[in-house]
Structure 1
């Protein structure tokens, strides 16, 4: 097998012995070198490497020699050394442990640099620190993880006893990096449990990141050409849920058939209009954003009175159900209106595109009345409609829209696409919005889901796995608070000092009596100024605080520590009283 990327070429052969592999590779190498001599292309033997992959012990490690080209003598990589190709370090047993050790060291170094910028009292805002950490570390340590990670799904046997031990070891090593990353984000004590770190920093565990990487790889194949090798292999899999290969397990994450997007509609060198030009075509101007409602009313008075206005909109409810709605106006009278439930198969973007297609399709019946104007409040959908080529979610819907516009039965020309600012006192837009919300209340089933919905499903799976990990590993203190890990916590918006005190009270890892006794801190001050022992809940009932600053009976410590609104009240109280510096005797 021959494959590669850009100018990096790889030769792969499967044989029963390394000696037989060398014979097959030697023949392929000589064919390539002969072809290169014919075409005037030279290859550098100094940059060539050879590695034999096997899990059997005490197997030979022969070199490769070319009989036709004597200068081509490629020594095999030593048994105890990995080989780097396209940014991935391959070892002889394909355990990828050397690769994980290298990316672990790189990630720990980055986390240490970020941690040096802050302390538990001052430094970067936790929200800014998280943004910097997420931008730098995960993309580095999870690079090409889909090539070695074995996905765990509900449809495959992925118990720890049946999985290779190297996978569990690699996952543990990456969790160490993520733990250091969380400590660079949060102002916490070094003994804070890992599950609490992941929850409070909004960082899922390594397994969630690895599953997402494999799922993204499987999802990207839906945007590849049908002749791509990965697409061919995925098509030939008899059953994704029974097959045990890494590729099959990755595709099992998608669960439901997904729409296929064709990327080769036009050559890459075809000129595409810029976003500024597309925005101009649909009547959007970023410089006049505050006056868009006024500009829309001006435009509405400038169009012919006989015009047919087609308003469309899409909506999504809290239960992830989407719906489309459209309404047609002529002389301020409703010609037609419609609702289309879409269920959980599409996102808002897809619902907006579907609504626009339905509005145009029904407006073609009234094209003889006057020029048709399609009005919608989604700028992304409006620009995709006027763009010559579309390679995004709901590609088939946009193809139908383009075909409908090209063959629109009207004596007044092609319909005009106009972006309408939301909630701009437009009766048509408000009516379409109500119809779209009505569509979210009905059930609907589709044979496939949209590409955008599939991406959202992977994100939901990632956070569901993070929540399950936190629920299983959380401490008894956190069970009392009844918290979850389904998204990034809003508490990261607090100041670094206040967040440090809040997390100490949540986890119990701070300047408290039980903490000092547990870690045998004999010289610690374990009493508050009021004479009572320091506990995580003591601040809400401390008698040393002036009466006017004390919490009422309704504001219990659990209510203050377990909700975002409670954390805001906690921050305001800390700023007013300076409690932990003035009344809390320091250790």
Structure 2
């Protein structure tokens, strides 16, 4: 459909929405008997139909297209027929693929129409059976060629440093490779072929980052470069994405596809999980069903459109001069309220499974709500060793612990309105100072110890996201113990406490974070650790000895690791 305001204009999406919204409303009224679904993305429209036979789809689509055409004419809009495409999805092996035109015809010698093998829409590549093999192949190839092109930015002797190469790969290539991964990566999906393509792409990136030889084992190179294996990276991203569904608004279109417990105020779609029988839910494998199965682990609730989070009405928008943050070394306290040197009140309670910032935010929320209730209170000073939690306490947006932030914002808003002289100051105090009041609060909090029993325990979203990250790290460490993965000649290093050094993607991992500042040094170290020399060259013991000497004499590394 053509754009009434000119494609590319700043007002294009707005004007298109104003014109197309009534068209979509009237379409659903006039096409109520056709059981069609109409989607619109700015000036791109899609009509969806589902039936037992392809011919039945064609009849319904022709009628729906005629209704759309007449509505566009009535609104003085134009449909661009030459851009119209028809595509059929079917899991039957004998089903025909779609043709390029709206007039569908099988591919025979009597017609020049050739069926399309895939359909590109909004950057996603759909095939007939919705296996998304073409989608994975396209973006894996694009990522691979991008890595190949990056090789001109450095080699084993000059160019970008290993740290910069890893940053460039993670910033520019990984988003390309994982674009739309939730289409094809979910429990029960057959994606072995696509996964192998991505593994080969990352192997090429690891070779470029480390400067090692192409015969080096992929597992060892990924560990040295701080690159988590592709299948574990996707597992972490998919698990964390499941919990983000809980942060969606009550009327978000995605909720219409979920089960009854997650619908909220969204109307169920005709193919929604809420309308499936239990037997059908057990057969269907998709991202939606994966969300339906796992998201209930999260017990935290969110308010995506809380009144306190509206721009202009946020606490810091209205009372910016009432809040101060101090970085002076003062004292730290938990939920213990003092007036001068006199203790007024203290409280503590169980927070459930939460991260340290969540617990700190919980304590700040409790302290603020108690402080504003004190008579003749003009200035509140909150001492904390977590300034991140202090900033989050007055941020009403969607984040882990949003309920605590909203309670702080609501309490402070009422308190600020009572008197213009009311102020609150957050003071940063390192816990290492061990101020006596901080010690008292620490002792008071740690005395409360409640075991995790059989009862359902609250889980914050950051806790579950952190658990997903630790889970894939544990899987990576377990896989790394296999000599066939890391390489039979991989040089094992130990930490000062005797534990073997384990791979990690945090800060580039232990090897890259130590030697990644020098190209030649990191290259020599990688070749030494993997035990690989150029093919056909003699066993260059002098090079290995020089690399080992580098390991032992590097100031940043001595005293941290020990060679076996």
Given the two structures, how large is their TM-score scaled by the length of structure 1? 0.71
Q: CA deviation at 1:461?
A: 3.3
Deviations for 1:182-205, whole angstroms, at most 9, x for unmatched residues?
Answer: 122112111111111221111122
Residue aligned with 1:477, SS: coil
Question: Structure 1 residues 453 and 411 mapped into 2: Cα distance closer, same or farther (>3 Å)?
Answer: same
Q: CA deviation at 1:146?
A: 0.2
Q: CA deviation at 1:244?
A: 3.4
Report the counterpart of residue 402 of structure 2 in structure 1.
395
Distance 1:277 1:187 in 2: 54
Question: Structure 1 residues 567 and 114 mapped into 2: Cα distance closer, same or farther (>3 Å)?
Answer: farther
Among 525, 528, 534, the residue aligned to 2:538: 525
Listed as ranges, the gaps of 5+ residues in structure 1 are 68-74, 152-157, 286-291, 298-310, 313-324, 512-518, 541-549, 552-556, 571-587
Distance 2:251 2:335 in 1: 39
Residue aligned with 1:452, SS: helix
Distance 1:245 1:147 in 2: 8
Q: CA deviation at 1:174?
A: 1.0
Among 22, 36, 40, the residue aligned to 2:58: 22
Distance 1:437 1:479 in 2: 45
Residue aligned with 1:293, SS: coil
The answer to which of 58-67 and 108-117 deviates more is 58-67
Deviations for 1:217-263, whole angstroms, at most 9, x for unmatched residues?
Answer: 42332121222232243333578999633322245455612423222
Deviations for 1:356-379, whole angstroms, at most 9, x for unmatched residues?
Answer: 2211333355x1254351414444
Distance 2:559 2:419 in 1: 60
Report the counterpart of residue 249 of structure 1 in structure 2.
290
Among 45, 50, 72, the residue aligned to 1:36: 72
Among 87, 108, 125, the residue aligned to 1:51: 87
Among 404, 420, 445, the residue aligned to 2:427: 420
1:185 aligns with 2:198: no
Could you tell me whether the CA contact under 8 Å between 1:208 and 1:466 is conserved in 2? Answer: yes
Report the counterpart of residue 475 of structure 1 in structure 2.
487
Residue aligned with 2:52, SS: coil
Question: Structure 1 residues 81 and 409 mapped into 2: Cα distance closer, same or farther (>3 Å)?
Answer: closer
Q: CA deviation at 1:346?
A: 1.8
Distance 1:65 1:112 in 2: 40
Report the counterpart of residue 359 of structure 2 in structure 1.
351
Distance 1:31 1:122 in 2: 63
Q: CA deviation at 1:567?
A: 7.6
Could you tell me whether the CA contact under 8 Å between 2:198 and 2:230 is conserved in 1? Answer: yes
Q: CA deviation at 1:327?
A: 1.7
Deviations for 1:497-533, whole angstroms, at most 9, x for unmatched residues?
Answer: 222222222211126xxxxxxx5x2xx333657xxxx
CA RMSD of aligned residues (A): 4.1
Distance 2:417 2:86 in 1: 67
Distance 1:348 1:34 in 2: 60
Deviations for 1:302-322, whole angstroms, at most 9, x for unmatched residues?
Answer: xxxxxxxxx75xxxxxxxxxx
Report the counterpart of residue 336 of structure 1 in structure 2.
345
Distance 1:277 1:382 in 2: 18
Distance 1:347 1:143 in 2: 29
Q: CA deviation at 1:176?
A: 1.2
Distance 1:430 1:394 in 2: 23
Structure 1 segment 27-106 matched on structure 2, within 5 A:
27-61=63-97, 65=102, 78-79=114-115, 81-106=117-142
Given the two structures, how large is their TM-score scaled by the length of structure 2? 0.73
Distance 1:336 1:112 in 2: 64
Q: CA deviation at 1:394?
A: 1.6
Question: Structure 1 residues 432 and 253 mapped into 2: Cα distance closer, same or farther (>3 Å)?
Answer: farther
Could you tell me whether the CA contact under 8 Å between 1:339 and 1:435 is conserved in 2? Answer: no
Residue aligned with 1:55, SS: coil
Report the counterpart of residue 234 of structure 1 in structure 2.
258
Could you tell me whether the CA contact under 8 Å between 2:49 and 2:57 is conserved in 1? Answer: yes
1:170 aligns with 2:194: yes
Q: CA deviation at 1:400?
A: 2.3
Listed as ranges, the gaps of 5+ residues in structure 2 are 1-36, 105-110, 261-272, 494-499
Residue aligned with 1:375, SS: strand
Could you tell me whether the CA contact under 8 Å between 2:394 and 2:405 is conserved in 1? Answer: no
Could you tell me whether the CA contact under 8 Å between 1:339 and 1:439 is conserved in 2? Answer: no
Distance 2:113 2:306 in 1: 44
Q: CA deviation at 1:415?
A: 5.7
Structure 1 segment 299-318 matched on structure 2, within 5 A:
312=333
Distance 1:198 1:279 in 2: 47
Report the counterpart of residue 218 of structure 2 in structure 1.
194
Distance 2:186 2:291 in 1: 8
Report the counterpart of residue 492 of structure 1 in structure 2.
512
